Structure 1
Amino acid sequence: MESRAKKKPKKKRTLLKTIIIIFILLILGGLGFAYYMYHSLANTLDGTHQALHRKVSEKRDEGVKFSEKDPISILLLGVDEREGDRGRSDSMILMTVNPETKSMKMVSIPRDTRTEIIGHGTTDKINHAYAYGGVNMAVDTVENFLDVPVDYYVQVNMESFKDIVDAVGGVTVNNSLDFTYDGVHFKKGQISLDGEEALKFSRMRYEDPRGDFGRQERQRQIIQAVIKKGASFNTLANYGDILDTIGKNIKTNLTFDNMKDIQSNYKEARHSLEQLQVNGEGQKVDGVYYYVVSEAEREKLSTELKEHLNIKQ
């Protein structure tokens, strides 16, 4: 498993603001707020917009129609940005949303997954796609790996993780593993976390017998906790902090109008979230560690995601 890799992991932060972008309208857009607050949100989210090199995925016959409640897919990219270097996408999660079944599915793709890097002509770790060609190459590579369309993406600067947790007043999770990491003890059971603690809670993987999958589960818990906390009325007091954090640390091809449509037609899907696993095994190829996924496993995942997206096989 990835947890056995010798290379020391870099800072890991979950993609919480990704979910906040989609569901922030539950807080501000749908509750009849004053003109200033509404337009503060609009201006912030307009500033996060960054289009892809294409409007519609080649894996779709036509574009998504929000008014008809077409299922959609969103690639969540957690990027470790460094000065003078665009960095790598150390967290990659594909989320599919089906408003008719009122459900979401999330696939966390291990960063060391060996696959073809589309547009680069190499086979490498999937998180290198962003380093080679930015968000466009990352989107194309994930589409090829899972053989499903990526309609939208949300890119998050992973350095900002703790800020959004603090902006919503902290989160509460149910911890299944008693452990200590980076000077903080996390007891088993229900615990409350501030931003710094949530960062450490989601980062640990070597002490978890489930390795990277255990870490993904803790990330999912924090994502759900932020959604729940963000949708509460009490969070409105911190809306300025939330908007400031979003504006500084997120890029997406979702427009403000897209987000309003999602709020209107897709919000009930947040109540059912299933996390899918990418099953594989750790192998060394030419002395380099990779997470190798069989063709049968890829096809299995692809079939489940296509069914959730109502895409004909």
Structure 2
Amino acid sequence: MPSKRGYQRGPFRSQLGVLAGAGRLVFAQSQARTNIPMTSVNGPTPNDAQRPRRVADGASSPDAGDARRISDDRSFGASLGWTVLGTIIPGLGLVRGGRRIIGSILIALWVIVVGGVAGLWVTNRSLLTGVAANGDMLHALAIAMLVIAVFWVISIGATHLVLRPRGAGWGQRAAGAVVVGLLSFAIAAPLALGANVAVATADLLTVFGQTSTTTPTVDAVDPWKNKDRLNVLILGGDSGTGRSLKLGVRPDSVSVLSVDTHTGATSIFNLPRQTAKMPFPPDSKLYKYFPNGFYDGSNPLNQEYALNAIYNNVPHLVPKNILGNPSSLSTDAMKLSVGEALGLKIDYYVLVNMDGFRDIINAIGGITVNVNDRVPIGGKNASGTHPEVKPSGWIEIGPKQHMNGHDALWFARGRYHTTDYKRMARQRCVINAVIQQADPATILTKYQSLTKAAAQTMSTDVPANMLPALADLALNLKGKPIRSILLNQSVGFKTWDPDWDLVRRLVKKTLAEADKGATAKPSANPTATGTGTPTSSATSSPSPTASSTGKEKSANLDDECAYHPNK
């Protein structure tokens, strides 16, 4: 007979069984309608394998399911399209592939960087140019660009893997790999090049920023805002082969490049290196020591008081700090004297060692010039007790000769059995060729070689923060005719007794002709007769009446440097 306890539990258990069975029936019907898998109270059902689960990054399981469904359902072509879009805007493809968190972070970073740079460019450009003029900031920028390149490439690969159909065949996988590789290269290469340019520019900045009391004060945002003309003294330094500029220099050539900062109209003026009685501005402290110009008072042919002697000799004849910074006294004296002689305010100087000139020409890919006279390579004229030294070779006459740095150097400086005036004419043609032929793409590809050569053999007082503005101005010069006038006896100029009032009138007239574009085009067939002559004679033959006519006209360097051989 059953116990009392067992007898009482029997009906209760039976009722619970009925209720549980009814509950399972209702839940099963609900599951059937909603297609939600049911788990038995006794363990998982076979459908439990389909239940969405948590993913590792804490995102809800539907995201992972979405990613799988997108990967399964989207075509291979569409996955490539979204990979391209994800390359342009990092993170966009990842959001599309269901990776919303990381994708949104990348998009936000992209918007911040691009928007921030664009905003600064519009509202505070001086901050960006300040970065370009700061060596430490440029090194930091280079590192940042490399880091960005790495993460951007990873983003491209991840985007394609998320969106690629799961059933893609080997052909599609190979094609996808090629596309990802090309897109990665398209992103990484410019960033790597940018990093290289940033490091090279940081090294180049060591040349700039020399303190001087003769440099102008300019607007940091727009340097040309209140400055209509830029005058740069260009000195060709001959300090000896392979010798540093810091060990001493003898200016072998003296030129001034004068540029209208708004139109790009450019003029070049050369002064013979042996010019005597170089003046100083009356308001300069140097005027007290040289009221009659740089002159010994008796012999205008004394080369210790010639133009090219100012650089080395003036610092030994006046107090070291007379102009402020003793280290810039040589170049400041040159700027003041040449500027007073031409009637121009010299803003900056650039001193290039001749060896450095050769390397710079090589770095820009060489230049092409017309050769109208045989030009010696090496050689020395007899002087005093020093015998004549024959040239080691010659640059022969011919049109459109492409020269490397070595030949261009001798084309500009060769003086064996020729005149200084012909040499100065060739130097103007070299400057014209560099301005007109320097290709930005070539310069960019050889930028590191160019900056290395410049850093080793060039000095200047141009501020580093002026470099972006000067680069824009240089582009404005391309294609513009350059004018010049040769200061020799044919225009009444005498190196031993210069008429500086005449020189200033000629300079002023040349600038006006350049501004008005009063240039004559080179003849259509300059080689037909072979007897053409430069607009401004490259010889020192005197023309006694020229200085009295007042009709001297500057030369268009395209004409002066055209092919008209002197045989």
TM > 0.5 fold call: yes
From 488, 504, 516, the counterpart of 1:279: 488
**Distance (Å, rounded) in 2 between the aligned partners of 1:49 and 1:234:** 23
User: Quick check: 81-90 or 91-100, which moved more?
Assistant: 81-90
**Is residue 184 of structure 1 aligned with residue 394 of structure 2?**
yes
Aligned-pair distance for 1:154?
0.8
Task: Please give the alpha-carbon distance, in whole angstroms, between the structure 2 residues aligned to 1:151 and 1:126.
Answer: 19
Partner of 2:335: 139
Correspondence for 1:114 among 276, 279, 287:
276
Rounded Cα–Cα distance in structure 1 between residues aligned with 2:400 and 2:489: 31
1:1-313 equivalence runs, <5 A: 34-56=193-215, 65-68=223-226, 70-81=228-239, 85-116=247-278, 118=280, 119=286, 121=290, 122-123=294-295, 124-132=305-313, 133=315, 134-179=330-375, 181=377, 182=391, 183-208=393-418, 211-265=419-473, 267-270=475-478, 271-280=480-489, 291-304=496-509
Q: Any conservation in 2 of the 1:80–1:87 contact (CA below 8 Å)?
A: yes
Q: Against the structure 1 CA distance between its residues 52 and 94, is the aligned structure 2 distance closer, same or farther, given a 3 Å change threshold?
A: farther
3-state SS in 1 of match to 2:225:
helix
Aligned residues: 266
After superposition, the Cα gap between the structure-2 partners of 1:55 and 1:195, relative to the gap in structure 1 and judged at 3 Å, is closer
Q: What TM-score results when the alignment is normalised by the length of structure 1?
A: 0.73
Cα distance between partner residues in 2 of 1:308 and 1:259: 28
Displacement of 1:229 = 4.1
In the other structure, the counterpart of 1:15 is: none
- 1:128-150 CA distances to partner (integer Å, 9 max, x unpaired)? 11112311111111122222200
The Cα offsets for residues 17-53 of structure 1, whole Å up to 9 and x where unpaired, read as: xxxxxxxxxxxxxxx8743134234313321114353
Larger Rg: 2
Q: Secondary structure at the match of 2:427?
A: helix
Higher relative contact order (CA 8 A, sep 6+): 1
Quick one: distance in 1 between partners of 2:444 and 2:473? 22
Q: CA separation in 1, counterparts of 2:251 and 2:406?
A: 21
Aligned-partner residue type, residue 128 of structure 1? A
How far 1:242 sits from its partner (Å)? 0.8
Give the letter for the 2:482 counterpart: L
In structure 2, how many angstroms separate the alpha carbons of the residues matched to 1:265 and 1:192? Answer: 26
3-state secondary structure, aligned to 2:239: strand
Q: Which moved more, 1:240-249 or 1:219-228?
A: 219-228
Matched position secondary structure for 2:476 = helix
| Contiguous gaps of at least 5 residues in structure 2 | 1-189, 281-285, 296-304, 316-329, 378-390, 516-567
- 1:75 aligned partner, one-letter code: L
Task: Give the unaligned 5+ runs of structure 1.
Answer: 1-31, 282-288
Residue 202 of structure 1 aligns to a residue whose secondary structure is helix
CA distance in 2, matches of 1:265, 1:86: 31
Structure-1 residue corresponding to 2:299: none
Residue 217 of structure 1, CA deviation:
2.1
Checking the alignment, whether the CA contact within 8 Å between 2:485 and 2:510 is kept in structure 1 is no
The DSSP-based 3-state class of the residue aligned with 2:208 is coil
Deviations 1:89-128 (A, max 9, x none): 2211111100333211010111001124643534121111
Q: CA deviation at 1:212?
A: 2.0
CA 138–265 in structure 1, closer or farther in 2 if over 3 Å, else same? closer
